[in-house]
Amino acid sequence: MAEAWWMLLFPFLGPTPEAIPAVEQPQQQVQAEAPQTPPETMIGLLTVQYDQKCVGADGTDVEWVNPHLELGFSELTNPVDDAATKMTDKVVMLKVDQSKGKPKMLPSDPMAFAFSCVPMQMRSDWVPAKGGIRINQGLSFGGRWTGIVAKEFKVLNLISLKSSGPDVLATVTNDSGITLEKLSVVFHYEGCYGKPGSLSESRELGTMKPGEKKLVKAPAVTYGKRVRNSDRLSAHTLRSIQLQSQTPGVVVDLDMPVTPLGIVVECPEE
């Protein structure tokens, strides 16, 4: 078995699984138009990120400055303190303090996040970060924001995974305490060989009330064209699982790598 190229590029984090009502299969990701008002609630992966400062004689060396918290790709003004770092790399729900800060919606164009001091060929969804390349899976309903002040944080256990033969079973548990509407799960795959490519498969969950659980299934390895005009299919392995929701007043910007959830998928030999 060979490791996928992206497993060497991306660092990861981690928890584990369970079982419940199964949901089957629609395939297409639908991106809803984002409202322009700041959200009341946000759900995503809490991380510490840094800004790039280009240094050196030719400006191609990188100094990582301004450590700050991000939930998904939204920037928080809360300090990077001990309380926050205990929750980083976990799925977190926060309540936005509407009386503080000056929230501003970030650009919807993925290329707005893709700046790099170091000249290199990058896909439009790649975002350079201190810990490695992040992948911007697209705009979430409710948009992405800067200047957000959180007044309350809660760690969630929304997703757990386990292997089942050639498939991966995902249990989605709504432990947020709020009803999540038009919820879907998107499985993201990265190509094993040749020019980096990606595929995705979507499963619709509908509305999930607090405490409700649903089970969805997807292949650990899927196949797609490596080159646009070729009929040859190439293996793509599961890299991350994303939750999307169209709930008024709520931003769900959650794309969770599968490795910290206990799933390691190796590339099949070609």
With beta carbons less than 8 A apart as the criterion, state whether 217 and 164 touch.
yes
Cα 18 to chain centroid distance, Å, stands at 21
> Across-strand partners of 71?
46, 74
Strand, coil or helix: 85: helix
Give the closest residue to 146 by CA, choosing from 101, 109, 116, 81: 101
pLDDT in 10s for each residue of the chain, 270 residues: 454 444 444 443 333 333 344 544 444 444 455 556 889 999 999 999 999 999 988 888 999 999 999 999 999 999 999 999 999 999 999 999 988 888 888 877 666 666 788 877 778 788 889 988 888 887 678 888 999 999 999 999 999 999 999 999 999 999 999 999 999 999 999 999 877 789 999 999 999 999 999 999 999 999 987 656 667 788 999 999 999 999 999 999 999 999 999 999 999 987
Which amino acid is located at 82 in the chain? Answer: D
Give the pLDDT confidence score for residue 203 in this predicted structure.
95
With beta carbons less than 8 A apart as the criterion, state whether 39 and 96 touch.
yes
Give the pLDDT confidence score for residue 228 in this predicted structure.
63
Phi, psi of 173 (to 5 degrees): -115, 120
* Separation between Cα atoms, residue 127 and residue 134, nearest integer Å: 5
Which amino acid is located at 235 in the chain? Answer: A
Handedness of CA 243, 198, 71, 18 (dihedral sign): positive
Q: pTM for this structure?
A: 0.83
Strand, coil or helix: 153: strand
Give the pLDDT confidence score for residue 232 in this predicted structure.
77
With beta carbons less than 8 A apart as the criterion, state whether 182 and 206 touch.
yes
